[in-house]
Structure 1
Amino acid sequence: MPRLALTGSRIRAKRTETGMKQAALAKKVGISPAYLNLIEHNKRRIGGKLLLDMARELRVEASALSEGAEAALVATLRDAGSRIDSAELARVDDFAGRFPGWAGVMAAQHARIARLEHTVATLTDRLTHDPFLSTSLHEVLSTAAAIRSTASILAGGDAVEPEWQARFQRNLLEDAKRLAEGAGALVSYLDGAGDVESTLKSPQEELESYLEARGYHLPEVEAGEEVEAEGEVAAYLARYRADAVALPLAPFQAAVAEGLDPVQLAARFGVDPATVLRRLASLPEVDGQAPVGLVTCDASGALLFRKPVEGFPMPQFGAACPLWPLYQALLRPQVPIRAVVQQSGQDAPRFLTYAVAQPRVLTGFDGVQVIESVMLVIPENRAGDLGEGAQPVGTSCRICPRAGCAARREVSILAQEV
């Protein structure tokens, strides 16, 4: 039932809430109780002066009766109920109009579930692939084993010479300190508390934090200024500077405004498509325009760089879903791939992706060629009309609930598959 046809349901709900009898309201607005009964059961339309009179008697705005629940609330309920029978889904407007309070509760629960699913995905990714976590756990367990071994010697029935006893006690004290420090650092790392986290970041995480704080756009580099940096940040800045020289900001932005086709832009500026994809992801954000995401990997499948975009989660460690065009491009180096994809989940927005793989390092005809794949991720509300359908993809197999996927590498930890 259309939302505009539910005015009667809202009038009945508001009248019941105020404790007013049907006959009393009908008398005040100058209609018969039988006619009001038809209106309240959505069998007669209402508008104009009669709607204004009823709104006045019920002490509400007329728009609250004619429009009811906001479109965003109804849309959220549709997302929450996307797996139920279509006949039930068609009644979501009626439900929102009759019970706006319960509808708000369901919408809030749906949003919380989505946030919790994202948290589970992030923690699972970190617990599964984080090299620091693996090393720290190994250190803690090794130290605990050493303490137990030393303690068993001291607590044994055999006599220990004073010199050796003092040595064992010193070892026990040092191991206990190591255990306390290692456990404390591990807890701080997992909790994300204090200043410890900043000293425990991997080089890739440091680079991503550096860029995220600057919105992935570096005006000082665009202006040709020298920026002091080390490690991964310095390497990224050198590449950013080369891309900015090849694709100057103002002319490139003007060209993008005419059309966002990476292959055409590459031909126009005489560069390779991968450079265009990276440059598109580094442009300054524009108000009202959704930002784009970028991800790169090498031939091993490990992600080298991530610029996340809302609705398209990217694992922080290890490899991602093998169905991503990012990996498909590795099968056809230097051949651009365009694909519309949609991740699993109830809210599942669609994205337009452009991907291309090409050699990054050439060591000669007889040497090893290092291949890098780049994928640009554009939200649907920026990409324009994407037509119907999309390639289903996931984040990583461990947290992907999609059943029957031929590319699955391991069983999902999510109990319910869709």
Structure 2
Amino acid sequence: MAVGKLYIGRKVRDLRLENRATQAQFAERIGISVSYLNQIENNQRPVSAAVLLSLAEKFKIDLADLSAGEGDRLLSALTETLTDPIFEPFSTSLQELKLITQNAPGLAHALIACHQAYRHNSEQLASIDQTLGRASGVFENTPYEEVRDFFHFVDNYIHEIDLKAEKLATELGIGDTDLNPALTAFLEREYGVRIVRSTRDDDMIRAYDHQARVLTLNAYLPASTRDFQIAMQIAQLHAADSIDQVAKQAGFRTSEAMEICKIGLHNYFAGALILPYRKFMQAARDVRHDIDLLSLRFGASLEQVCHRLSTLQRPGLKGVPIFFARIDRAGNITKRHSAAKLQFARFGAACPLWNAHQAFEMPGRIIRQLAETPDGVRYLSLSTQVTKGGRGFRLSQQHYALALGCEISYADAFVYADGLDLTNKAAFDPIGISCRICERTKCASRAMPPLKGRLVIDHENRAILPYGLREN
């Protein structure tokens, strides 16, 4: 598959401004004309391979940092937004959307936020519930959605928090020694916190008494959950200032969003502490991303391992671009992140042809799938079921499917690609993002027509779907 042209004018301009250079000075340094640089910065011409190599050599930057970023995520979110029928009179080409996300990302974010507010208003009106009479009449993103978008658009990687966690992990020897004694000893030595276990028969996981300096953990927690909660407590005590600063700089509209973000950052620190960046990334390479082996090596759960794999986006030291999602039995995506081109739908359920749904039918197995999205990009997709909760007979269990994968060009880095015919086009299942925005006109698994699709109704003939879709 041909590689698309690379338009990175805004990044080149930012790089020039960071180095306090005029266009003439910058152009001379990388060996091109001022007019060519001007065209690059305004996304009128793509960047050639020679210019990319010159930028990398002269400014000591990683080529992946230039070509990657929030562009794909923002383009996906904006494209989904514009599929809403309210935008039907306004036709926009893919090239126009790319220019907006590359040259005016703030405008793209603003349009997405406005559309989300519109959706909330519409949903409230449709439900005709008690909230219909709220005085303001304006419904913004919920605090949870605001925090979700924050992590999404920073590539789910928080540099200062990750570095702080890795530094502490190195001091404690995490990755080379037993995790629980190292965490427990540090918490008691540095902060005077004792850990006790409770046999209460309820859903309590952890409780911290800051006056008595006692962390109480449920005695029936799995070892990986117990250690993660200890790491969470360390995050609250050891990284509080850094986490507060990141949350404040995010510019959330409400105090609720800021507090939810802090919880997310505590979780982030905990994950980065028990799975320290460099050691974990090297181990992932060594075992070819075998998630079972990584789980055993670091004493972490499969979910913790999969989630951490999707965050390995440190500038200059990136891992394989991986997508990760957690899906419940109803098809709701309860966790989502993608460093790959595949972007999950912001509204609605996931594609029914995706192998993530099969995980519930085959618990204990890792299911492999070769898949292709409508844009022609091919993926190696993996899924497996995990169970949470259920401590004893009276407490219910929650079943989730974990899904992760990568673009097919990275498949050799995964042990799960062994034995699959990656060159056979027929081996790839056609999947989409979600039915409401999927471009495929012939799919028997559709749950609903695409929002922008034109229906063809034939009263005399019937196929699997009760309607046809007019191809553009």
Q: Give the TM-score of the pair, scaled to structure 2.
A: 0.46
Please identify the structure whose Cα radius of gyration is greater. 1
Does the alignment pair 1:358 with 2:396?
A: no
**What's the Cα RMSD here?**
3.9
Does the alignment pair 1:245 with 2:273?
A: yes
- In structure 2, what is the Cα distance between the partners aligned to 1:322 and 1:254? 34
More helix by share: 1
Shift of 1:203: 3.4
Does the alignment pair 1:275 with 2:304?
A: yes
1:390 matched to which residue of 2?
428
User: Taking structure 1 as reference, are residues 249 and 117 closer, same or farther at Cα in structure 2, changes over 3 Å only?
Assistant: closer
Following TM superposition, where does structure 1 have runs of at least 4 consecutive aligned residues deviating by more than 4 angstroms?
Answer: 115-120, 138-143, 286-290
* Residue identity matched to 1:327: H
- In structure 2, what is the Cα distance between the partners aligned to 1:402 and 1:285? 35
1:377 matched to which residue of 2?
405
* SS of equivalent residue, structure 1 residue 296: strand
User: Taking structure 1 as reference, are residues 403 and 270 closer, same or farther at Cα in structure 2, changes over 3 Å only?
Assistant: same
The structure 2 residue matched to 1:202, chosen from 129, 142, 145, is 142
1:122·1:315 contact (CA, 8 Å) conserved in 2?
no
2:348·2:434 contact (CA, 8 Å) conserved in 1?
no
1:323 matched to which residue of 2?
353
- In structure 2, what is the Cα distance between the partners aligned to 1:268 and 1:212? 28
Shift of 1:324: 1.7
Shift of 1:391: 1.8
User: Taking structure 1 as reference, are residues 310 and 283 closer, same or farther at Cα in structure 2, changes over 3 Å only?
Assistant: closer
The structure 2 residue matched to 1:407, chosen from 445, 463, 466, is 445
Shift of 1:320: 1.3
User: Taking structure 1 as reference, are residues 135 and 255 closer, same or farther at Cα in structure 2, changes over 3 Å only?
Assistant: closer
- In structure 2, what is the Cα distance between the partners aligned to 1:260 and 1:120? 32
* Runs (5+) with no aligned partner, structure 2: 1-45, 49-73, 87-114, 166-238, 248-257, 455-469
* SS of equivalent residue, structure 1 residue 398: coil
Shift of 1:231: 4.8
1:125·1:317 contact (CA, 8 Å) conserved in 2?
no
Does the alignment pair 1:217 with 2:164?
A: no
Shift of 1:131: 7.9
The structure 2 residue matched to 1:136, chosen from 99, 107, 121, is 121
1:122 matched to which residue of 2?
81
User: Taking structure 1 as reference, are residues 294 and 126 closer, same or farther at Cα in structure 2, changes over 3 Å only?
Assistant: farther
* Residue identity matched to 2:428: A
* SS of equivalent residue, structure 2 residue 450: coil
* Runs (5+) with no aligned partner, structure 1: 1-69, 73-114, 144-174, 187-199
User: Taking structure 1 as reference, are residues 319 and 254 closer, same or farther at Cα in structure 2, changes over 3 Å only?
Assistant: same
User: Taking structure 1 as reference, are residues 305 and 417 closer, same or farther at Cα in structure 2, changes over 3 Å only?
Assistant: farther
- In structure 2, what is the Cα distance between the partners aligned to 1:351 and 1:207? 28
1:335 matched to which residue of 2?
365
- In structure 2, what is the Cα distance between the partners aligned to 1:283 and 1:399? 29
Shift of 1:333: 3.4
2:383·2:402 contact (CA, 8 Å) conserved in 1?
yes
Shift of 1:316: 0.4
User: Taking structure 1 as reference, are residues 137 and 407 closer, same or farther at Cα in structure 2, changes over 3 Å only?
Assistant: closer
* SS of equivalent residue, structure 2 residue 372: strand
- In structure 2, what is the Cα distance between the partners aligned to 1:376 and 1:251? 20
Shift of 1:136: 1.6
2:8 matched to which residue of 1?
none
Q: Give the TM-score of the pair, scaled to structure 1.
A: 0.51
CA deviation vs aligned residue, 1:26-66 (integer Å, no higher than 9, x gap): xxxxxxxxxxxxxxxxxxxxxxxxxxxxxxxxxxxxxxxxx
